[in-house]
Structure 1
């Protein structure tokens, strides 16, 4: 087994510490003269100027301390993803406050400062069940002002470093978590913990750590087994090491074990830490894309006017998903239009859909146009109530197709790269409330639940735009299910799987191909829908214990952007 170390051989490290975008050197304690860690000791003020306190706002106007974090730049605080989720539901940015320069949690000094959060970025592969990929970024509304009491920490300098060649050592953890009396402490505590190898950690409590430890070694274990340890409330804080002339963060407090009787954190057990080197590229990508969350730079795309606390199934379907499109087909010498596939409007001139919808395999049918703004196939205009209670009447737009772009590797390998772009002859009128584009993400984000919208193939209500909630399923489980009918899913992550939760099988009818799978993201005081996937195919017999397969949009954003930006629009 490979050793899970913390300190890199000095030959592997640069002797210079890093700098933030403001030119401030990271990992520097500015005040060295100033005179929970369970069984730890109190830190001095300004000892850990990068350590952050994360609070959750309450409905009554109060705020509760929930986790720690680490300042890594003037825009971002690094923490654990599970600190940003409550009862399996991701919390929006405006639920959080970040307090910096804090020493006494209950009585902030004049040196501390509070920052609003305008974006929460969770790792897209975060797993709430086993806390793997337990990492998140909080983006502050204002740039963080550095001082003697507020400083950034350096990120570990070697991406996915060979851990076998690193020296095992002891790192420092700090926090306001549960202390000796099993209650949250006010004064920042610190303790030194020893890193242990994978095998030692696993052997200490196999049933526990076999679930938590990642096969790709993206986390590690540390602890002293001597009553000195992190505890409840220390999650999200960093494990810090001094290398040469600066301090670096190597791990993020993720998960510990509980006692069998009182179900409290067990200080005699090891704790898992998210391993920073494994995520350096992920962190860097999100920092670089901080000003561009929407791939095609459409500022008004995917707007959701409901309060972020409103559940998706409590929202009106009418006018809520105005990017959901229908592909119209015609037989030669026939004026009759047939609607076979769905899609999503991503730009006034472009609709994205499933590749097999445009490959010419529908018998005697030719793709002719795209219908936008539809709701009820049996009525035109459609009449309904908008989100703010107003009565609205809408009509459809049907726009002929100028060009089709099928992915160059469509169906190679079989069932893979199932995506296409349709260019409209003229721009859609997106000034109408029933015709708007959805946002495309620049980078993927974690969500527990997604929403699929479109028209179902059959059923009594198949003529009305429908909505369902989808839960992403483990890809290995999905691969096993479809492997039984000789369908191999993409090895490149081009497929994602989702299951629905119906009360009975009578409501289980497949959506048309190309139906969009979407999620709402809260950033910069706006709630916007982003496209996650397109319905590709499902199990032949619609059963409740099977999953549908979606094309993963995030894997095709570069191709989409190259087409849209390369066309004269």
Structure 2
């Protein structure tokens, strides 16, 4: 990978969960979180890109690094077709001449975190030729074991095939490609590159790119020396999709520097548009598992994907949906707003259990949805372990008496799982409250909430009748320095959430339990406010049982593969320049 002269190495913040089973790892969610502050290249820490794979070519008894790849599941790696095609014959390289390294950070050493696998099958896209349909899947002889350093990437099946909405967004690449000295780097590097329009790419070099640009590829690059280099082929281009990382591209080819016979880093780079090949990828993976079915996402995840289809973004890339399309206010029988709720689908709202009645015995009668109006409440079901005047298990599901018609302005929230909530640093709290001074209802927005550890929270608060056992696993504590929120009441049931500006979606992490007039807020040093939230991930199984039915079955299909290969002048694939072994 080629970089500009200044190389910045960024420190890492580690979140480690040792000894977790294979099923506990989810695609695109790494166990080590890294602070990403710059757009130019730097050295990768172990576990930073756990889905990146090193592909080696074997010749006699030696191995030589050739390309990168991306782990799709425990058995399959996605890469560029030209990485596994013999350039002399045009046929796929024998699987016996390939070796895969997972969890590797330095090519010169094999640490305890590295797993090595043989390849049993090489499957090239059936329409691959030269630099078109430059995509291939490798099937391993033995599956890898998921660890903090070996985790598969996600592919968003609902992402838009048209990449115009991605233009200007920066994706991340990684690899051991050539450095400025012209040699393969021993150490894995990473950088981010912006996606550019087809017109920009065409104008960059009409002769090279003119006949190769189509809907199956896209262009990216800064044209400042930060670029994939020879040896980076086949590696992925990743984008953050809120709580996880998704694969959108594969490093494919670029214009050659005719004097140096290597990548011209002053030009854009061509990536395979993975979204265009989802059907083929799915067919290959299912075909390689004839006696099994695909693992379905849990129902709340699948519903979140459905809701994403309603979110809209304008051409200026500003989200078109309302500011907080999932936040509702709960109106009691005395016609007063005393709590908030979170819309989770067309018929259900999530709130705090203590909102089922107030101190005067008044109960919720309807919810107010700004873009819709008022809707009657059919029933309120609290978690069975909740007890009166105890803050624990403070969660309830409200069933509405009317099915809401969803839109970009009436949009349910996504629900955090055990593996997604840890990625959020600063969280947003929103809801409707009543000004203590004026008695007027107003919208509350608090942006600077940061989750703290149970230990720190227990140090700050004192055990009392509402918290006899201190903070329990079903709760979260968050600190906030915003003093304006102390002048309102009625924020119970409001969401603590993260915001994904790319998909225009919100993910709820917690439900406000304490912190309003009824449940006292705890102060630290008379400045920092500590609020207690019910932890959504802890109750996700119960929520899904109350709100959704079982998931539908998954169907399977099969496919057959063939391959051809030709050459194109003035184009440089990114693999290293050496003779491939014959089949």
TM-score bracket, normalised by the shorter chain, equals 0.3 to 0.5
Higher RCO (CA 8 Å, separation ≥ 6 residues): 2
TM-score, length of structure 1 as denominator length = 0.47
